[in-house]
Structure formats: C-alpha cells, structure tokens
C-alpha cells in the first residue's frame, strides 16, 4: 500500500511532451506515408484499374454472349424443327428398309439352313465312314493281338516245345540224309 501511495503522489498521470521524440516520430510517419504513396499506391492502382478493366470486358463479353445465346436459341429451335421433320422422314425410310432387309434375311436364312443341313448330312456320312474304318482297324488290331497272345500261349506250353524240338531234329536228320544225296533241300520255317 505504501508503494501505491507514493506512485499516486508523484502523479501517474503526469504526461510530459518531449518535442524531439515527437518530431522524430512525425518524420518516421511522413517517411512511411511517402513510401506507401510512392511504392505501394501505384501498383495497387494498376491492379485496381486492371481488375476494373477485366470486369468491364467481362461485362461486355457477357452481353455479347447473351446476344449470341439468344441467336443460338433461335437457330436451335429452327434446327430442332428441321430435325424432327428429318427424323420422321428417316423413320419412314428405315421402316421400308427394315421390311426389305427382313425379307432378304429370311431368304438368306432359309438358304443357309438348307446349306447347313446338307453339309451336316455330308459330315455325318463322312464321320460314319471314318468310324467304320476305325472300328475295322481296331477289330483287325484286336484280332491280331488276340491271335498273337493265343499263339504265344500255345508255343510256350511244354508239348509245343517238345513237338518243335522233335520236328527240328527230324528236319536235321532229313537234311543229313539229303546231304548224302548232295541235293539241297529248301529250309522250312519254324512256327
């Protein structure tokens, strides 16, 4: 409390005017104003002028675009009317063409069906002939394999071996007898 009383007694609100500080601040303010007027205001003015010109140009272009839009709307309406008339004419031509094409396609389809049927019959006959050939070949191969198997079974039996050995010995004996006659005998094939 003593401290606040002394401050109030001296005068907290005692304002003194210092002229050198005032003039230096006034000079600094003048320099700042001069700097702003010299270097900041001209570019800002240019930007503002440019923006105003751009807005003015855009407004003019907008008016021209509105005029062009109304002209385009009128030409669009007339083009729509012409297009509808042309569309009606094209529909009629398309119906006629479609009827003609359908008749041609039916005719062509009938011819194609007949051709495919004939070709199918020919292919079936060809497959049948091929299948018969294949079955005959398979049957022949199976018969040969079965015959070979039966012959092998027959030859592998002891009786068949002894018969073939006896036949061989008989042939050797006959050959020996015939060599005394000096007449060559034809060789026999062994089973």
Lowest mean pLDDT of 93-102, 119-128, 175-184, name the range. Answer: 175-184
The percent of the chain in helix, strand and coil, each rounded to the nearest 5, is 90, 0, 10
Which DSSP letter does residue 157 get? S
pLDDT digits (tens, 9 = 90+) for 129-168: 999 999 999 888 888 888 888 877 777 777 877 887 888 8
- Specify whether the CB–CB gap between 164 and 189 falls below 8 A: no
Handedness of CA 43, 45, 50, 54 (dihedral sign): positive
Please tell me the pTM assigned to this model.
0.29
Q: Name the average pLDDT for the chain.
A: 84
The whole-angstrom separation of Cα 86 and Cα 79 is 10
Q: What is the pLDDT of residue 88?
A: 92
- Specify whether the CB–CB gap between 188 and 171 falls below 8 A: yes
Q: What is the pLDDT of residue 52?
A: 93
Q: What is the pLDDT of residue 53?
A: 93
Q: Which whole-number Å values give the CA distances from 3 to 8, 11, 79, 140, 173, in the listed order?
A: 9, 13, 96, 137, 163
């Amino acid at each position: 409390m003593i401290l606040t009383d002394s401050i109030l007694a001296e005068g907290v609100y005692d304002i003194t005017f210092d002229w050198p500080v005032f003039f230096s601040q006034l000079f600094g303010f003048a320099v700042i104003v001069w700097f702003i007027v010299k270097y900041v205001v001209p570019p800002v003015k240019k930007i503002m002028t440019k923006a105003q010109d751009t807005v003015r140009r855009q407004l003019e272009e907008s008016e021209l675009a509105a005029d062009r839009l109304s002209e385009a709307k009128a030409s669009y309406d007339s083009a729509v009317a012409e297009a509808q008339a042309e569309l009606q004419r094209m529909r009629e031509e398309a119906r006629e063409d479609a009827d003609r094409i359908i008749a041609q396609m039916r005719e062509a389809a009938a011819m194609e069906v007949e051709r495919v049927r004939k070709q199918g019959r020919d292919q079936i006959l060809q497959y049948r002939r091929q299948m018969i050939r294949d079955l005959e070949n398979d049957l022949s191969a199976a018969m040969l394999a079965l015959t070979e198997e039966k012959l092998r079974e027959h030859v592998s039996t002891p009786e068949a071996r002894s018969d073939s050995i006896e036949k061989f010995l008989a042939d050797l004996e006959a050959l020996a007898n015939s060599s005394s006659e000096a007449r060559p005998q034809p060789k026999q094939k062994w089973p």
